[in-house]
Amino acid sequence: MSDWLPLLLRPWWLLALVPVALVIGSLRRRRHRHGRWQALLPPALQPWLLSDSDRQRSPLGLVLLGLAGVLACLALAGPSWQQGEAQNFRRNDPLVVVLALTPDLLATDVTPNRLLAVQRKLQDLLKARQDGETAIVVYAGSAHTLVPLTDDLPTMDNLLKALRPSIMPVPGQRADLGIAQALELLGPAPSASARLLLIASDLDDRERLGLERQLQGRLRQLAILGPGTPQGAPVAAETGNYLSDAAGGIRIARLAEGRLQDVARELGGRYQRLQRDDSDLRRLGLLERPDDVRASEGQGPSDWRDQGYLLLLPLLVLVACGARRGWLLCLPFCLLLTPPPAQAGSWDDLWLRRDQQALQLLADDQAGAAADLFTDERWRGVALYRAGDFSGAAAAFARDPSADGHYNRGNALAMAGRLEEALRAYRAALVLRPDLTPALRNRNRLERLLAQRAAAQAEAAARSRQAQSASQSSAQADEPASSSTPPSTAAAAASPQQQAQAGADWLVSPSYAEDPLAEEQRQAAEQWLREIPDNPAELLRRKFWYQQQQREENALQ
């Protein structure tokens, strides 16, 4: 098909051309019948004997009426010259993976070890569920959400590679806490097709009772995947040494297959040992698609964009012209109304607000252009901050009297090297919101930086005074050999000038000047404000530790 020929999304609307043709033909025959009187009567008598409806009119009206009918039928048929993005059908079976991230995963009874085998298995599972939502919860002595329900495969893959038993803040093994966290992700009324996948090598009695209490009557689709072998293997620490058990011997991690099978049977679930291929996932039913999704595939709406609206503008012009007599007079005015040169911004203003346009520019890393469009001062401050205009960002954030506004202003001032003002901004934020942890942390860091700068300035002043006293002593010692002036008089005469010179040298000395020190402090502030751990495992360790601290604080309240 040629590129300029449209694809019709609703081609049956072309049948409406038949009644349009019948109406046009009927009107044409009626006009022809009325026009026969003009052939019989003399032209001089026609104005007096024929009415306006009996006079023969120009066929242009019928032509335009037929054209309007054709345009209306084509618009209803849904012409499309552009194909949109293909619409993917989402699986309606959310899955939450609950992984025991304990040192037992470092056992080597599965090559190369259990942890790498589990990571590869989960990567295969996620690839098979690209159109479905999956969440991952890890647990040891505490449970934490690694990834909420999402279909973002790259993010989940990156976080899976960062898993280490050492990132867990509390040692132990609490599968019941992991299941509770998973049920919280699924919500109070989970879908009937929602499923849980528990990956663990053992469950003690407390964990079994917790699982039974949480899952009975709420969620029956439980799958248990056991990594390792019943024979087990020594557990190698991340440092390379083998872990020891309570008796002091080498710790052996074994797969308690019998207990896992009993738990799965009691809860109406399935159990499989981890395999190299995908047979374990298939037996657990994790690769099956829900029936409602399979039935709907291929029956969704077309991914071609309906562009029939493009024909509405000429159709409206034809309808407006034929609404009253003298419609031909509007044609010259239409020709005079030539549009001015189109600007990209004016076209965007027709569909998007300025803030929406600015958000798009900010997402495209055009922070400077976004700052010019933002009307919201807070977003304008964010754009200026990303553009590197920290003073302008501080001025924009100053219009926000909230705690977040003071905190953002403090960050901008610190990046601009105005550390004292930044410290005052952080303090103002903490007055309004004492629990604003980032502001508290930045305030403490700035106080340390300013204290270091004050100490450096004091040290510079002390060195200057030492140099001044040393120069005075040298002048007093050398004066008798070169002059007959009494020592006391020479020292008194030379002291004021030498002291002034020494002070001037200290003020302009590159080693102790204030500007290089301020630049150094600004660079230090920039470094810790932008400091992000390069190691994802370390980032997860800090995140889980912080979450556990928050839980313990809430439990004490």
One domain for residues 288 and 148: yes
CB of 88 closer than 8 Å to CB of 297: no
**Are 51 and 111 members of one domain?**
no
The answer to whether residues 239 and 206 belong to one domain is yes
- Whether residues 507 and 536 share a domain: the answer is yes
Mean pLDDT of all residues in the chain?
76
CATH number, position 129:
3.40.50.410
Q: Are residues 154 and 198 in the same domain?
A: yes
The answer as to whether 489 is a domain residue is no
The pTM assigned to this predicted structure is 0.49
Calculate helix-pair angle for 354-363, 344-351, nearest 10 degrees.
Answer: 110
Same domain, 320 and 288: no
Rg of the chain on CA atoms, in Å: 40
**210 and 141 in a common domain:** yes
Residues 254, 113 share a domain = yes
The encoded tokens of residue 398 equal 């100053």
Neighbours of 552 (CB within 10 A): 12
Of residues 452 and 201, more confidently modeled: 201
Angle at 87 between CA 82 and CA 92, to 5 degrees: 170
Number of structural domains the chain divides into? 3
**Residue-range definition of the domain harbouring residue 510:** 389-472+503-557
Asked if pLDDT for residue 261 goes beyond 60, the answer is yes
The pLDDT tens digits for 397-439 are 898 888 888 889 888 888 888 888 888 998 998 988 888 888 8
More confident residue, 67 or 146: 146
- Within this chain, do residues 131 and 209 fall inside the same structural domain, yes or no? yes
Based on the fold, state whether residues 68 and 13 are members of the same structural domain. Answer: yes
Residue 344: pLDDT band with limits 50, 70, 90: very low
Q: Is residue 350 part of a domain?
A: no
Domain contains 364: no
> Do 102 and 251 share a structural domain?
yes
Ordered DSSP codes for 533-548: -S-HHHHHHHHHHHHH
DSSP 83: B
In a domain, 355, yes or no: no
Cα–Cα dist 38/56, whole Å? 8
**Paired residues of 90 in beta bridges:** none
pLDDT in tens, 489-532: 333 333 333 333 333 232 222 333 334 445 555 566 566 555 54
Q: Per the structure block, which two tokens stand in for 109?
A: 């009874």
- 54 pLDDT more than 50: no
pLDDT digits (tens, 9 = 90+) for 178-199: 999 999 998 876 777 889 999 9
Same domain, 317 and 401: no
